Structure 1
């Protein structure tokens, strides 16, 4: 069997293909933005003062026009020369158009109607106060003149075309597909040639086979790659460490199991019990407070068992979670045991057992939050921070309660001005200062550090 040396041509071919690919990309992307040079003005630019024209252009034209690109209106670089060449229009037409464009559109002027339809049927503002000399100055500014060794010549300004074309994403996708097909074809050709060689008794040997080193050794010897990898790993580790530390103390979704199961879904949802009936201290205190068991007994002296919602059977989800009528009745019995209630004799025995409730919402000690300020003064609904409690079978922390979350609320929440005597004076002063009827909590000082940190 004849042995020949096989030189790996794939890398060379791929290299050439990559160059062709890049050149094709550059040429195609360049076609997507067409730059056309406008011809120089045919009239002498000295017929107007370009310096005065620039001032007039900025005062009257710059809001809708630019020299070298399309805005609300067309680009105005060399506009007179372009109209003369393309439409056969002279400066007199420009005088009439600039001074009374709506009138020319109504008169049926062909080019005036064409421009009107092209630009969303919005007529250009008329400038009857501009004289012919003013317009000459503006036109002189649209045809810049440069000094070339003492001789003045007209400068041609490129106009960037904004005409729609094939999007860059489609072109790039097509090129990537072509490149992938090229690589696949080269692979198949190489594989076919090897099979033909083997069928003819030719052994293809790679002359560089003996010189190859394991990838890990090559990587270890390349100090640049090692340095880049170490930097990447350090940055990645720092990113994930920062993300982990930012979650410290954020207990969103925390839903502990309480010693006595209390269903907000039944009490606040089905029975429509107001939140502040149980959490009464939220009206006058910084804390909402844990309701005392005596508040529970206001109702449960008479409600000693749970019979469900009248006319409704327990849902399959509740049954799957074990929330049956007997389950809720058993929780009521736990309440009786905790307060020392003799159900048979309808009296308290004095034998109480404290309930060790598990706290759910817990702000850091250095953060100050006043429930009464938000609930009574700000008229903020409990659900704003605590979520849809009327739907919660097990109470959980709905909001992240982070500093950024609170600040964002202060920036977006309007303070209720009407009928709020607490802020009557400061509302009036700030309304005069900011000139608005509604004020956000941030404008009322809700972003000051001392408001929450003391």
Structure 2
């Protein structure tokens, strides 16, 4: 009988596996380009700066366009390449289209009229203030979005899970584990074959098990009426649950943060400079609506504040990552001057104004009545109760869900400020007798009656 040298066989297999792992590891290390190289190549071939392009895209394009999905306008990922290959259009056409799209439509440009007809005959907003370099930067961003900053903290690295402490990427580790697993399978097959040879050499007969005829699982399931009934009931209940949850989210815009035509930082105005909310939203004291302040309220300060100098210690790493530099905020002040027609050099109004189309954030249904003056002036509710920590928001967003249940819970839990509030003195005297309590909530005052909030 022939002897099988197991140690010799195992040493060969292990040695071969280590050799393959070393070759694959060093090949991936040398072949994988660094983020800096990729960023440099994309910047060299794009003809613009993708970092600046992202900022310009968010300011001017993001309201109607996304990179990879159709919105009000078409998706803009690789738009320059697509137009060149599919339509035979060059970059000069893009310059003309972005700066004066209505003019190209009226001039009879074929592709301009094709886009105009495809998107419900709604002409794209013209951007004559964008230079060719600005458009090149935007096209560079749409062709290759800028990579993440190279300087990442250890906490960020651990959170993303892209690399371990030794710098080896997860892809390499997974590949090595898959290779080791495959080698183990091969070793088990070889050991099985070797043991079978030994058994045959010793005259051992290995009987093959007779395969039992099994019923397919779907047939067994279909024959069991109880399981079928339970499964159908479960699927119906689950479908009803998810359908109810989806329908309850209709009209709930919590977290909605649109891009405004002029970037306004509540963090700087209400946070750093401690400007009171009701200085700008003065109508909240006396009106149903809080109102959007007119631009001349902004000019009360910005006639003199013509540039943003920031904090003495400089912008934070998060602000730099988002493009919120001193130059960015100064550029937004220039947009304000252009909108109001302010001649900065001669310190006078030119009369050439442009309306600013602010995007509304908080929007209640038409059948719901809400009065700001009743809550602000009478009840003394702070703005942050409904609008959240506005003084910390760089971009304003809807903090609360503003649903009926959310309002009712507030009415049930909020105590009326009776002390020093002449509006409630007589009411408090009567209701305290009725309920026998010292503290009254808005619900006790009729805050749960349907007619209070619905016409």
Looking at structure 1, the residues matched to 329 and 241 of structure 2 have their Cα atoms a distance apart, in angstroms, of: 47
Please list, as runs of the form range in 1=range in 2, the aligned pairs for 1:199-210 lying within 5 A after superposition: 201=205, 203=207, 205=209, 209-210=212-213
Corresponding residue for residue 293 of structure 1: 295
Q: Is residue 228 of structure 1 aligned with residue 230 of structure 2?
A: yes
Q: Residues 281-313 of structure 1: CA distance to partner in whole angstroms, max 9, x if unpaired?
A: 00001111111111101111111111112x321
Write out per-residue CA displacement over residues 297-343 of structure 1, whole angstroms, 9 at most, x where no aligned residue: 1111111111112x321111111111011100000000011111111
Listed as ranges, the matches of 1:244-393 within 5 Å are 244-309=246-311, 311-393=312-394
Give the match's secondary structure for 1:234. helix
Q: Give me the CA root mean square deviation.
A: 1.9
The structure with the largest strand share of the pair is: 1
Aligned 1:27-426 pairs, distance under 5 A: 201=205, 203=207, 205=209, 209-210=212-213, 212-309=214-311, 311-426=312-427
Q: How far 1:228 sits from its partner (Å)?
A: 2.1
CA distance in structure 2 between the partners assigned to 1:265 and 1:200 by the alignment: 83
Displacement of 1:200: 6.0
In the alignment, the residues of structure 1 paired with residue 229 and residue 432 of structure 2 have an alpha-carbon distance, to the nearest angstrom, of: 59
What displacement does 1:272 show?
0.3
Distance in 1 between the 2:204 and 2:380 partners? 91
Shift of 1:452: 0.7
If you compute each CA radius of gyration, which structure gives the higher value, 1 or 2?
1
Post-superposition offset of 1:387? 0.5
- Counterpart CA distance in 1 for 2:204 and 2:229 is 48
Q: Which residue of structure 1 lines up, in the alignment, with residue 441 of structure 2? A: 440
Offset of residue 435 of structure 1: 2.0
Cα distance between partner residues in 2 of 1:203 and 1:222: 36
Q: In structure 2, how many angstroms separate the alpha carbons of the residues matched to 1:269 and 1:283?
A: 21
Task: Measure the CA separation in 1 of the matches of 2:233 and 2:443.
Answer: 41
* Cα separation, 1, equivalents of 2:360 and 2:348: 30
Distance (Å, rounded) in 1 between the aligned partners of 2:327 and 2:251: 37
**1:166-206: CA deviations, max 9, x gaps?**
xxxxxxxxxxxxxxxxxxxxxxxxxxxxx9x9996463645
Equivalents in 2 of 1:259, 1:315: separation in Å? 24
Counterpart Cα distance in 1 of 2:210 and 2:418 = 85
Distance 1:235 1:430 in 2: 45
| Distance of 2:210 and 2:248 partners within structure 1 | 54
Question: TM-score, normalization: structure 1?
Answer: 0.54
Q: Give the equivalent residue in structure 1 for 2:428.
A: 427
Matching residue of 1:105: none
Equivalent pairs, count: 256
Structure 2 CA distance, aligned partners of 1:443 and 1:318? 46
Q: Distance in 2 between matches of 1:423 and 1:327?
A: 49
Aligned to 1:453: 454
2: CA distance, partners of 1:283 / 1:426? 22
- Give the Cα–Cα distance (whole angstroms) in 2 for the partners of residues 358 and 216 of structure 1: 54
Structure 1 range deviating more: 313-322 or 266-275: 313-322
Deviations 1:102-156 (A, max 9, x none): xxxxxxxxxxxxxxxxxxxxxxxxxxxxxxxxxxxxxxxxxxxxxxxxxxxxxxx
Deviations 1:233-263 (A, max 9, x none): 1111111111111111111111111000000
CA distance in 1, matches of 2:247, 2:207: 60
Q: What 5-or-longer segments of structure 1 have no aligned partner?
A: 1-194
- In 2, distance between residues paired with 1:391 and 1:315? 14
1:368-422, Cα deviation, whole Å (9 max, x unpaired): 1110000010000000110100000000111111111111111110000011112
Structure with higher helix content: 2
CA distance in 1, matches of 2:428, 2:332: 49
Counterpart-to-counterpart distance in 1, 2:402 and 2:354: 33
- Report SS of the residue matched to 1:254: coil
Which residue does 2:180 correspond to in 1? Answer: none
| 338 and 408 in structure 1: CA distance in 2 versus 1, 3 angstrom threshold | same
2:345 and 2:266 map into 1 onto residues whose CA distance is: 28
Q: What SS does the aligned partner of 1:317 have?
A: helix
In structure 1, C-alpha distance between the alignment counterparts of 2:448 and 2:255, rounded to whole Å: 26
